[in-house]
Amino acid sequence: MQALIRHLETQTGQSLQNSSLRSIGGGDINSAYRLKTENIDWFIKLNRADLASMFVAEAAGLREFAGMGAVRVPDVICFGDFQQYAYLVLEFIELRSLNGNSASLFGQQLAQLHSQRQAYFGWPIDNTIGSTPQHNDRKDDWVGFWRQQRLSKQLQLAATNGYGSSLQSQGEKLLARIGDFFSDYRPHPSLLHGDLWGGNAAADSQGQPIIFDPACYYGDREADLAMTELFGGFGRDFYAAYQAEYPLNNGYKIRKTLYNLYHILNHLNLFGSGYLSQAINMINQLLAELK
Ligand code: ADP
């Protein structure tokens, strides 16, 4: 680690003499450290050097959010690879849970972010969702994007992982009918966080909302909202503020299952068969809506 710290010194031109380095829990994928001197306070994510492209995409995503100015993200200090490490260095922010005012502010800010129209569906580079590759080929047609770049890719991966039979046959039926969920709804491309569960949003010590660890792309804002509901929800204040700023279309209640299916299939591919029956139930529930 000392060699990496010397490397970061040359990369940033900052003196890191007398720095203290502390390992902090880290997330699901990477290990994480806090590096402090009198003048700097950094959050460092580390992974294997061959995974450096994950951090290139994460840094690009954070910079894109920063440019939009709607929701605060940590500043990117630098990223790259050195010896056995890929690294991403961010400003360290003391994080608190979102609640009350900060949750409400986050709902308003996310709605403001989503209301800004982007030029196409997709994103300039591919990234990852968890550690699974996420494909972002540019498209003007959202239904085609969701079918090909999202559900179809996860179903193919599931087939490779040995989840055949009814998942694949029901999945095929659903892929053929995705357009039916959009008969009276034409989403526009919005910058999405892409992996917006409770572990990737917080507030700073002033109560300003912060998002981090994005898997971003331009897509239907309902996909971000759906994910906020998948693992517990962000609380009444968040949803009330979002709705007040930029109300959702009624069909969201049904389409959210179509959007969360992507994440459940991804969990199936990452964490195993515990998610298989949930994935099949979601597909069947969606097909039942079309009868
Ligand atoms: P992973 O990609 O490994 O899941 P995350 O980016 O989600 O890692 O970070 C892991 C944890 O570290 C987060 O849940 C959060 O609590 C904390 N964290 C993330 N970014 C920062 C930051 N810039 N400053 C301080 N803590 C952070």
Q: Give 235-278 pLDDT, tens digit per residue.
A: 999 999 999 999 999 999 999 999 999 999 999 999 999 999 99
> CA–CA distance from 53 to each of 32, 45, 92 (Å)?
17, 13, 22
121 CA to centre of own chain? 16
Would residue 195 show up in a list of annotated catalytic residues for this protein? yes
pLDDT at residue 28 greater than cutoff 80:
no
Q: How many other CB atoms are there within 10 angstroms of residue 141's CB atom?
A: 12
pLDDT at residue 195 greater than cutoff 90:
yes
Q: What is the per-residue pLDDT for 190?
A: 98
Grade residue 21 by pLDDT with cuts at 50, 70 and 90.
very high
Q: Whose CA is nearest to atom 1 of ligand 1?
A: 27
* Residue whose CB lies within 8 A of the most ligand 1 atoms, among 96, 205, 212, 266, for a mutation test: 212
Q: What is the identity of the amino acid at 250?
A: N
Q: What is the per-residue pLDDT for 272?
A: 96
- Contact between residue 70 and residue 102 where contact means Cβ atoms under 8 Å apart: no
Provide DSSP, the chain: -HHHHHHHHHHH----TT-EEEEE---SSSEEEEEE-SS-EEEEEEEEGGGHHHHHHHHHHHHHHHHH-SSB-PPEEEEEEETTEEEEEEE----B---HHHHHHHHHHHHHHHHSPPSSBB-SS-EEETTEEE----BS-HHHHIIIIIIHHHHHHHHHTT--HHHHHHHHHHHHHGGGGGTT-----EEE-S--SGGGEEE-TTS-EEE-S---EEE-HHHHHHHHHHTT---HHHHHHHHHHSPPPTTHHHHHHHHHHHHHHHHHHHH-GGGHHHHHHHHHHHHHHT-
Stretch 219-231: mean pLDDT, rounded?
Answer: 98
Q: What is the per-residue pLDDT for 167?
A: 98
pLDDT at residue 291 greater than cutoff 90:
no
Which domains does the chain possess? 2-91 (3.30.200.20), 101-289 (3.90.1200.10)
| Percent of the chain topping pLDDT 90 | 96
Q: What is the per-residue pLDDT for 30?
A: 84
pLDDT at residue 95 greater than cutoff 90:
yes
**Bridge partner residues of 36 (DSSP):** 20, 41
Burial environment of residue 71 by CB neighbours within 10 A (0 to 12, 13 to 18, 19 or more): buried
Compute the distance between CA of residue 267 and CA of residue 130 in angstroms, rounded to an integer.
9
pLDDT at residue 61 greater than cutoff 90:
yes
Please tell me if the CB atom of residue 8 comes closer than 6 angstroms to any atom of ligand 1.
Answer: no
Q: Whose CA is nearest to atom 14 of ligand 1?
A: 199
Q: What is the per-residue pLDDT for 26?
A: 61
Q: What is the per-residue pLDDT for 233?
A: 86
Q: What contacts 277, CB < 8 A, 6 or more positions away?
A: none
Q: Whose CA is nearest to atom 4 of ligand 1?
A: 27
Instruction: List the catalytic residue out of 81, 195, 213, 237.
Output: 195
Q: What is the phi/psi pair of residue 218, to 5°?
A: -95, 120
> CA–CA distance from 158 to each of 84, 86, 162, 220, 269 (Å)?
31, 28, 6, 24, 6
Stretch 60-72: mean pLDDT, rounded?
Answer: 98
Q: What is the per-residue pLDDT for 177?
A: 98
Q: How many other CB atoms are there within 10 angstroms of residue 94's CB atom?
A: 9
Expressed in angstroms and rounded, the spacing between residue 93 Cα and the centre of ligand 1 is 9
Q: What contacts 217, CB < 8 A, 6 or more positions away?
A: 121, 122, 123, 127, 134, 136, 192, 194
pTM of the model: 0.96
Compute the distance between CA of residue 219 and CA of residue 145 in angstroms, rounded to an integer.
9
Please tell me if the CB atom of residue 213 comes closer than 6 angstroms to any atom of ligand 1.
Answer: yes
pLDDT at residue 1 greater than cutoff 90:
no
Stretch 179-203: mean pLDDT, rounded?
Answer: 97
User: In this predicted model, what pLDDT tens digit does every residue of 38-51 receive, in sequence order?
Assistant: 999 999 999 999 99
| Percent of the chain topping pLDDT 70 | 99
Please tell me if the CB atom of residue 41 comes closer than 6 angstroms to any atom of ligand 1.
Answer: no
Mean pLDDT of the chain: 96
Please tell me if the CB atom of residue 58 comes closer than 6 angstroms to any atom of ligand 1.
Answer: no
Q: What is the per-residue pLDDT for 27?
A: 63
* Residue whose CB lies within 8 A of the most ligand 1 atoms, among 34, 213, 216, 270, for a mutation test: 213
Residue in this structure with the two tokens 């940590």, named with its chain if needed: 74
Q: How many other CB atoms are there within 10 angstroms of residue 13's CB atom?
A: 6
Q: What is the per-residue pLDDT for 87?
A: 97
User: In this predicted model, what pLDDT tens digit does every residue of 136-187 receive, in sequence order?
Assistant: 999 999 999 999 999 999 999 999 999 988 999 999 999 999 999 999 999 9
